[in-house]
Amino acid sequence: MNSPLYKMYTEIVVPALKAEGGYKNVMQVPQIKKVVLNVGYGRHAKDKQYIERVERTLTLVTGQKPVRNKATKSISNFKIRQGMEIGSSVTLRGDHMYNFLYRLINLTLPRVRDFRGLTAKSFDRQGNYALGLKEQLAFPEISGDAADSIHGLQIIITTSARTQKEGLALLKKIGFPFTQK
């Protein structure tokens, strides 16, 4: 893997977490397994042009073609029928994942409007982190002219950590800017 983030993870983060966490083996140290980017269509579920723009955005940001997600059951209050396409998602692993996270930490998050750091409250019990962006325009791959409509983006970082504390320590060492609260 050629990503600078993966190189930093293996050379700096793993030894530091091993000493800090008291792990006996390098394989016990938490690591990032995958990153999932998700966009829900919402009220634009029947607008083909909107769906194409969302997929083009995900392709530009990740370098992979997104998968369309379908509803598993009908929900009448939201006018959703079973089998209806309700969103798009991309799963990143390996080198693509580390390259994306490097760009996210160093380029995208500093460009987010009114950014004051990430909250540590978005961890689940297993140490996975969920992050939501209100605008896709923070990514440098997307120019302001090319974006006809602004949509949100959800990023889920899945780790091998067993607790919230381990997941927070891993992401802090990698370089995620968490607030000090």
Question: Each residue of 18-70: pLDDT tens digit?
Answer: 898 888 888 989 999 999 999 888 777 677 888 888 888 888 888 899 998 88
**What mean pLDDT value characterizes the chain?**
85
Torsion, Cα 133 177 4 103, to 10 degrees, reads 20
Q: Catalogue all structural domains in the chain, each as residue range(s) with its CATH number.
A: 31-71+78-174 (3.30.1440.10)
Please determine, for residue 91, whether its predicted confidence score (pLDDT) is greater than 90: yes
In this prediction, residue 81 has a pLDDT band, given cuts at 50, 70 and 90, of confident
Q: Which of 71-75, 82-86, 146-150, 158-162 has the highest mean pLDDT?
A: 158-162
Q: Tens of pLDDT along 56-79? A: 888 888 889 999 888 888 888 777
Q: What is the pLDDT of residue 160?
A: 92
Q: What's the count of helices (H) and strands (E) in the chain, helices before strands?
A: 6, 5
Q: Give the sheet arrangement for strand 67-70, strand by strand.
A: 67-70, 85-92, 32-40, 153-159, 129-133
Residues whose CB falls within 8 Å of the CB of residue 49, separated by 6 or more in sequence, listed in order: none
| % of the chain exceeding 70 in pLDDT | 95
Q: What is the pLDDT of residue 144?
A: 63
pTM above 0.75, yes or no: yes
User: CB-hemisphere CA count at 13 Å for 1?
Assistant: 16
Pull the structure tokens for residue 99: 């390259």
Q: What is the pLDDT of residue 114?
A: 82
Q: What is the pLDDT of residue 155?
A: 92
